[in-house]
Amino acid sequence: MAKVAYYPGCALEGSGGPYDRSTRAVVKALSLHMENLRDYNCCGAMEVKNVHPMLQTYLSSRNLAIASEQMGFDTVMAPCNGCYHNLKKAEFELATSEDALETVQDLAKKADDPVYKGDVRTVHLLEWLMEELGTEGVKSRIKKSLEGIKVANYYGCMYTRPRQIFPEKDQGEGSESSYKPHFMDDLLGAAGVENVDFPLRTACCGGAHTLSDADTSTQLVLNLLQAAEDSGAEVIATECPTCHSGLEMHQIRAEKVFGIKTNVKIVYFTQLLGLAMGLSPRKLGVHENISDSIDFFKQKGVI
Amino acid sequence: MAIHEKSLIDAERLKTNDSLVIDGVDVSGHWNTMITPRTLRNYEEKFEETIQSYGGENVHRCWQCGSCTNSCTMYAQNVNFNPRYWIYLTRLGLKDELIKDKDIIWQCVSCNKCTNICPKDVRPENVMKAIAHWMEEEGITEETPSTKFDNEFWDQINKRGRIEDGEVLANFFKKTGQSLKQDWLIEMIKRMMKHLPITHLFHSGMHAVFKPKTKSWGKTGKVLEAYVKEQKEAAHG
């Protein structure tokens, strides 16, 4: 079984803590193996590229080089869409532009950092779980089916766009689709949930301007929350800490500033998966979510 | 050649006549408003190159299909947010027209729907950011909230290799003169505390005092800073 270097990134170290805890708990319970990416740096999220695009490329190449040159790993696994996107983008750019590769290697030498040489790939947690276990593998570990829970799977922007930087997607049977991603649907479906047909699965939550243009973000998040409720969902499953915090935050902001209340719960897909595997909600950080789903899960007999 | 846009017809060039008969046809009133023709002289031929130097390298590839605007998240919020049109203006060097939209261009949310769908690999998202940065650099707009946020982010990475999201939030609110005591923020913190085990509060507190840090960061921040400075000087003088 392949071992991966786990890159949690800054969000999972801070506000996305429940995602980090539930990821670790689920990975352990599934007997998969990962090792922390040693002394990683921030990927620059969506912000740093606006200061200069090379900064974003360099920050990601440094992380990839730590995995391959210092740890001897050929795969980095990131559960955060922002980190995942930036690593994939660096991978793509450095494979297609010799100039960019030269600049990155030159900067690394100047900074006494490990030098990126390629030979290392990035996968999202969703992709890793599908690759290692698939739906059948997950099904065999389910102790408490989540039957009767209606879920809208929300993938956001950075997991699939722009499709050019994800050459392994859209390769037919078994691969992820950039147009209509389904890996989270597949995994949670295996855990027993009822996936609703959610049209805004890859719509934008305004995460890049979640604070700097808060009214726009609140509108975009409200679109998602209301569309999910209209689709019959009780829960929105997330696979990105920025989307997750944005949804939680602007759900409250919509209520307090605009007087529009929505009831759909916002839960990390790893928390749902963990509950179905019989792990305790505390271990999965369900208590730490701002969107309070404890009573809901009790009502459904899950906890 | 490029498609003309309705909004090129300015309000001040519309003429209505209370009473006008031409060749025996009554053309008075508002229903058949006349438009004063104009000749454009205030274009800048090299403007496209300027935007390219700010990161919109592929803007010249555009063939005006409009897929970017059609797919745009912000266009659905505000029909004046029109990437195709701004790319058109950039290519023709019509800076004055572009400047009319200066207060909204920075609002691009980087959802990448445009870059994803563009058949010519124009990467319109890069072009939007390039235009917004050119406007700031030229003093056409003040530093936008988005740029303040970006800089706060980079400052922390530059220093420590990582960010601490609580600090980003607090500093951003300070820089933009917003209160931390907003109703919705207080409500959010209340809900956050509802079930939170006390050990986690302790953990968050420690996290805010002892900021996350990349130990091997060494001179990486300095090297990157010098590189960016050199690149910007070479591109914009």
Q: A102 pLDDT band (50/70/90 cuts)?
A: very high
Question: Interhelix angle for A125-132 vs A183-190, to 10°?
Answer: 60
Question: Are A153 and A291 part of one and the same domain?
Answer: yes
Whether A119 and chain B come into contact, CB under 8 Å, resolves to: no
* Mean pLDDT for the stretch of residues A211-230: 96
Digit-coded pLDDT (tens) for B171-193:
888 888 888 888 888 888 888 88
**Domain housing A211:** 144-299
A52, A58, A162: residue with CB nearest B116:
A162
Is A202 contained in some domain?
Answer: yes
Say yes or no for a CB contact (<8 Å) between B218 and A112. Answer: yes
**Interface check A261 vs B, CB under 8 A:** no
Q: Which of B74, B149, B228 sits opposite A52 (nearest CB)?
A: B228
| Closest chain B C-alpha to A97 CA, distance in angstroms | 14
| Rounded CA separation A174/B111 (Å) | 26
Pick from A44, A53, A160: which is nearest to B157 by CB? A44
In chain B, what residues touch A288 (CB-CB under 8 Å)? 192, 195-196, 200
At residue B4, the pLDDT reads 47
Predicted interface score ipTM higher than 0.90 = yes
> Is the Cβ of B220 closer than 8 Å to some Cβ of chain A?
yes
pLDDT in tens, B4-63: 455 567 777 888 888 889 899 888 887 777 787 777 788 999 999 999 999 999 999 999
CB contact under 8 A, A219 and B77: yes
Q: Is B61 within 8 Å of B121 (Cβ atoms)?
A: yes
Contacts of B219 in chain A (CB under 8 A): 110-112
Mean pLDDT of all residues in A245-259: 96
Identify the closest residue of chain A to B129 by CA–CA distance. Answer: A50
Is there a contact between B212 and B164 (Cβ–Cβ < 8 Å)? Answer: yes
The reported pLDDT for the residue numbered A183 is 98
The Cβ-side half-sphere exposure at A63, using a 13 Å CA radius, reads 35
Query: A177: which 2 tokens?
Result: 């689709």
Question: Do A118 and A148 have their domain in common?
Answer: no
A64 plus A188 within the same structural domain? no
pLDDT at residue A114 is higher than 50 = yes
Q: Does B200 touch chain A (CB under 8 A)?
A: yes
My answer on whether A68 and A204 are in the same domain is no
Name the strand (E) or helix (H) holding A254. Answer: helix A241-258
- Please answer yes or no on whether A206 and B109 come within 8 Å at the CB atom: yes
Residues of B in contact with A41 (CB under 8 A): 157, 161-162, 214, 217, 220
Using an 8 Å CB-CB cutoff, list chain B residues near A292.
191, 194-195
Distance CA B154, CA A51 (A): 8
Q: Let me know whether A99 and A152 are in one domain.
A: no
Q: What is the pLDDT of residue B209?
A: 73
Q: Within this chain, do residues A236 and A264 fall inside the same structural domain, yes or no?
A: yes
Average pLDDT over residues B88-114: 95
3-state secondary structure of A136: helix
* Both structure tokens of A95: 């494979």
Q: Which of A20, A38, A42 to mutate to test the interface with B (most CBs of B within 10 A)?
A: A42
CATH at residue A94: 1.20.1050.140
How close is the nearest chain B Cα to the Cα of A294, in Å? 9
Residues A116 and A204 in one domain: no
Tell me the backbone φ, ψ of residue A91, rounded to 5 degrees. -55, -50
Query: Given the structure tokens 């980079």, which residue do they identify?
Result: B154
Kindly state the DSSP code that residue B237 receives in the 8-state scheme. Answer: -
- In a domain, residue A138? The reply is no
Within a domain: A136: no
Residue of B116, B129, B196 with shortest CB distance to A161? B116
- The answer on A247 and A183 residing in a single domain is yes
Look at A62 and B184 and tell me if their CB atoms are within 8 Å: no
Q: Span A287-291, mean pLDDT?
A: 94
Give CA torsion, residues A38, B155, A10, A223, to 10 deg. Answer: -150
When divided into structural domains, chain A yields a total of: 2
Instruction: Please give the pLDDT value at position A1.
Output: 56
**Which positions in chain A touch B161 (Cβ < 8 Å)?**
41-42
Least Cα separation, residue A170 to chain B (angstroms)? 13
Contact B157 A178 (CB under 8 A): no
Under an 8 A CB cutoff, do B147 and A211 touch? no
Angstrom distance (rounded) from CA B198 to CA B180: 23
Q: Is residue A159 one of the residues assigned to a domain?
A: yes
| Chain A residues 212-231 with a CB less than 8 Å from chain B | 212-213, 216, 219-220
Contact A178 B116 (CB under 8 A): yes
Q: Are residues A119 and A220 in the same domain?
A: no
Find residues 22-61 of chain A whose CB sits inside 8 Å of chain B.
39-42, 44-55, 58-59
What is the pLDDT at residue B189? Answer: 86
| Chain B residue nearest residue A250, CA to CA | B184
Count how many pairs of residues, chain A against chain B, have C-beta atoms within 8 Å.
Answer: 180
Cα of A2 to nearest chain B Cα, Å:
27
Rounded to a whole number, what is the distance in angstroms from the first to the last CA of chain B? Answer: 33
Residues A156 and A291 in one domain: yes
The whole-chain average pLDDT of chain A stands at 96
Helices (H), A75-213: 81-96, 98-110, 125-132, 134-139, 183-190
Q: Write out the DSSP string of B178-230.
A: --S--HHHHHHHHHHHSS--HHHHHHHHHHHHS----GGGTTHHHHHHHHHHH
The answer to whether residue A291 sits within a structural domain is yes
pLDDT of B7 reads: 58
pLDDT in tens, B127-170: 999 999 999 999 999 999 889 989 998 999 999 999 988 888 88
* Residue A202 belongs to domain with CATH number: 3.40.50.11810
Is pLDDT of A36 > 50? yes
The phi, psi pair for A26, rounded to 5°, reads -70, -45
Do A86 and A212 lie in one domain? The reply is: no
Higher local confidence (pLDDT), A268 or B14: A268
Q: What's the average model confidence in pLDDT over A125-153?
A: 96
A149 shares a domain with A117: no
